[in-house]
């Protein structure tokens, strides 16, 4: 028996009637770090979401300048956006009730520092989603609530009632979804080795020699290989939480000459011999009702271009070495399912909206 290709668009995600949701609460969102790639992507997706209103755009570089300069891809003729402000304007806007939801799209460490300097931003909004790694370990700001880790397909139940959400990293999202069924079923017998190609946007928008066209074009290279990458502890936490035992992780990330996308491979020893067909069937069954995970048919493998600009993760799996080794693969758009799209997916869940509301499931391969 071969596993079918999952069909996410034909299976509605459970949730309330969107017509009722649109008559209810609108989340007034302040986007902190709106000039970065993930901030740009969040605004682009939010503008197509009936329940989200962009109430504030926050950027030191673009403060006081027209929103069209900050977001040149947005057509100002049809979409009115607020004039960007500097971060120090946020406490006043919060006090005036301009926004109730804060989405922090800052480099790692920046939101934790700002929350310490402006504690009203950490405690005042009814909902905060942090796209950095600052609170993915489940901690929170001093005296504030702990952050809940927001990977819906793995930990959906823990998001109910959450007011502070730590959005997962792009690599851990792809890695966890590539192994989730095997981890939950207790199929793995030891350490996991992960390799992944990443688009340049994963390094952020700040210019650097490493991500310049001349340095990157025409080649690909490893960086932070072994156990030193900042996402290794996050992967290990996820794997351990799903498997209910420690799962050591080795990681070999690579920068590739593409703007978007992550193409990931995970390899692990199996506790018992498993056929490729059985592995595929287990994955198809686990993800049958997940709108944003598509299990590919045996012999078909993920491609970054097929998930580009979508909130979908494509996965495919087989076994090798006589069925004793699992080889799992995944592809995501690092700016959507790996960042801004997943943030909106989490917003939908905690606000009681349909989980897939306003999110693209189809890729844009060309």
> Which residues are bridge partners to 268 per DSSP?
192, 326
Q: Which of 170, 247, 262, 268 is catalytic?
A: 170
Tokens of 203: 């390094």
SS3 state of residue 158: helix
- Find the length of the chain: 366
Tokens of 190: 């030891």
**Torsion sign across C-alpha atoms 119, 123, 124, 126:** positive
- Decide if 307 contacts 333 (C-beta within 8 A): yes
> Which residues are bridge partners to 80 per DSSP?
none
> Which residues are bridge partners to 266 per DSSP?
194, 328
In sequence order, the 6+-apart residues with CB closer than 8 A to the CB of 226 are 250, 251, 252
Give alpha helix (H) positions in the chain. 18-23, 37-46, 67-70, 90-95, 110-117, 119-123, 152-155, 170-184, 213-216, 232-243, 276-286, 304-307, 341-350
Q: Is 313 a catalytic residue?
A: no
Q: Which of 52, 105, 114 is nearest to 87 (CA)?
A: 114
In sequence order, the 6+-apart residues with CB closer than 8 A to the CB of 230 are 108, 133, 224
- Decide if 104 contacts 33 (C-beta within 8 A): yes
The CA distance from 350 to 353, in Å, is: 8
The CA distance from 291 to 9, in Å, is: 7
Q: Which of 229, 221, 307, 298 is nearest to 257 (CA)?
A: 221
CA distances from 24 to 58, 354, 364 (A): 26, 13, 32
The CA distance from 324 to 79, in Å, is: 55
The secondary element (H helix, E strand) that includes residue 165 is strand 164-166
Residues classed as catalytic: 170
């Amino acid at each position: 028996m071969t596993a079918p290709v999952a069909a996410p668009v034909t299976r509605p995600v459970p949730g309330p009637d969107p017509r009722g949701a649109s008559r209810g609460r609108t989340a007034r969102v302040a986007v902190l770090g709106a000039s970065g790639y993930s901030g740009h992507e969040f605004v682009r997706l939010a503008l197509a979401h009936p329940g989200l209103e962009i109430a504030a755009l926050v950027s030191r570089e673009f403060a006081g300048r027209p929103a069209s300069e900050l977001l040149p891809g947005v057509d100002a003729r049809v979409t009115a956006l607020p004039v960007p402000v500097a971060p120090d304007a946020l406490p006043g806007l919060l006090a005036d009730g301009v926004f109730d939801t804060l989405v922090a799209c800052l480099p790692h460490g920046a939101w934790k520092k700002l929350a310490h300097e402006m504690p009203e931003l950490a405690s005042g909004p009814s909902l905060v989603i942090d796209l950095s790694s600052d609170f993915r370990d489940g901690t929170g700001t001093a005296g504030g609530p702990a952050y809940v880790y927001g990977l819906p397909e793995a930990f959906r139940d823990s998001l109910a009632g959450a007011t502070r959400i730590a959005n997962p990293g792009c690599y851990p999202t792809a890695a966890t979804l590539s192994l989730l069924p095997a981890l939950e079923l207790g199929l793995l017998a030891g350490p996991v080795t992960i390799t992944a190609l990443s688009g340049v946007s994963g390094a952020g928008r700040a210019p650097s020699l490493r991500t310049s066209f001349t340095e990157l074009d025409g080649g690909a290279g490893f960086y932070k290989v072994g156990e030193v990458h900042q996402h290794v502890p996050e992967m290990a936490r996820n794997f351990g939480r799903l498997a209910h035992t420690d799962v050591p992780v080795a990681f070999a990330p690579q920068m590739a000459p593409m703007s978007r996308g992550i193409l990931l491979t995970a390899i692990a020893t199996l506790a018992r011999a498993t056929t490729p067909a059985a592995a595929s069937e287990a994955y198809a069954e686990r993800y049958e009702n997940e709108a944003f995970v598509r299990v590919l048919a045996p012999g078909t493998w993920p491609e970054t271009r097929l998930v580009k600009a979508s909130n979908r993760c494509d996965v495919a799996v087989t076994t090798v070495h006589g069925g004793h080794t699992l080889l799992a693969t995944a592809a995501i758009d690092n700016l959507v399912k790996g960042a801004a799209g997943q943030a909106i997916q989490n917003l939908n869940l905690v606000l009681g909206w349909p989980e897939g509301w306003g999110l693209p499931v189809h890729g844009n391969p060309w």
